Structure 1
Amino acid sequence: MLRVKADLRELCDAFSINNEEIEHYLDVETGEIIMWMDPIVMGVLDEELEDELEEGFGERYFRIPKIESREAYQLMVEFTDTVTSSSLRDLLRAALNRHKPFREFKDVLYDFPEEREQWFKFERDAHRQHVLQWLELHHITLESL
């Protein structure tokens, strides 16, 4: 079991970034979260970082998973099913069936601040659970900072 002093909130933030050009790694020696950006897209190649990540991959550096679009969409569906107001639930379901469901979903919640906060908590809790499962899979235990 690896014991790592790292911030669970930062791990969850890294998990929530669904961008093909960005990867995050947990350094189990320092607890640092390292952000790697695709050099083709960014126009900058950090050979030292590339080499270090490659050499220590799976031993010192663990790639933090990121939420897939379909998983993020499913979270919105699950949250919608918990909404007690039938009118808001209908608005959210309609938003999820539009061309840009992520944007539409957030736009609907913008007008409902209490439910919007409930959504953020629901989403944070789901991300936290996923990250904790990932840590367990890799036999990593977080210690307090």
Structure 2
Amino acid sequence: MELEIVKITAFQFGELVFACEQSSDDISCYFDKQTGDIEMLGDYIESDPELEERIEEEFGERYIRVPKIESWQSFEDMEEFVTTVQDERMQKSLERALSGGKGVFGRFKDTLSDDDDLLNAWYAFKDQRNKERVIELLEEEENIKLIVDA
């Protein structure tokens, strides 16, 4: 099957990646293939009956549900990031943060917060991984090839 080409701006791509990170049971995000915009519907968002009807009528053709980045994927990213850390003590601290159960994301971030450079490196790493993941998910699940203008 041939991929559908969708052109968006770098800003819209950033919004799309952010929406993939934010999707939850309470909020549904939709990507408008014509405009590149993200539309959000959910329990805590003021309802717009016209938008809801438009999304329902044009779902699949114009609108698609924004793919969700799962927590297990984020956890794998943290594990991989730890392998890039040069400082052995920090690497061990991060491994310990990842070994506990509940609250792992908070512990990981708290451990990184002692080192601004490393925290910024983590955010850059995570951002890059999520951008790659969104491009991959859209190609595999929706047959969409994104072209992002600089």
Q: TM-score range by the shorter chain?
A: 0.7 to 0.9
Whether 2:122 is the aligned partner of 1:104: answer: no
1:18 and 1:28, CA in 2 relative to 1: closer, same or farther beyond 3 A? closer
Percent identity, aligned pairs only?
33
On the 8 A contact 1:92/1:105 being kept in 2, the answer is yes
Q: CA offset at residue 67 of structure 1? A: 1.0
3-state DSSP class of the match of 2:64?
A: strand
Length, aligned pairs only:
142
Whether 2:131 is the aligned partner of 1:128: answer: yes
Calculate the TM-score normalised by the size of structure 2.
0.84
Q: CA offset at residue 44 of structure 1? A: 5.2
Aligned counterpart, 2:120:
117
Q: CA offset at residue 18 of structure 1? A: 4.5
1:64 and 1:75, CA in 2 relative to 1: closer, same or farther beyond 3 A? same
| Alpha-carbon distance in 2 for matches of 1:141, 1:90 | 38
Q: What's the RMSD between the two structures over aligned residues?
A: 1.9
Match of 1:80 among 63, 79, 82: 82
Unpaired segments ≥5 residues, structure 1:
none
Unpaired segments ≥5 residues, structure 2:
none
Q: CA offset at residue 135 of structure 1? A: 3.1
Aligned counterpart, 2:36:
31
On the 8 A contact 2:32/2:38 being kept in 1, the answer is yes
1:102 and 1:63, CA in 2 relative to 1: closer, same or farther beyond 3 A? same
**Counterpart residue identity of residue 111, structure 2:** V
Q: Which of structure 1's runs of 4+ aligned residues deviate more than 6 A?
A: none
1:89 and 1:25, CA in 2 relative to 1: closer, same or farther beyond 3 A? same
Calculate the TM-score normalised by the size of structure 1.
0.87
Q: CA offset at residue 45 of structure 1? A: 4.1
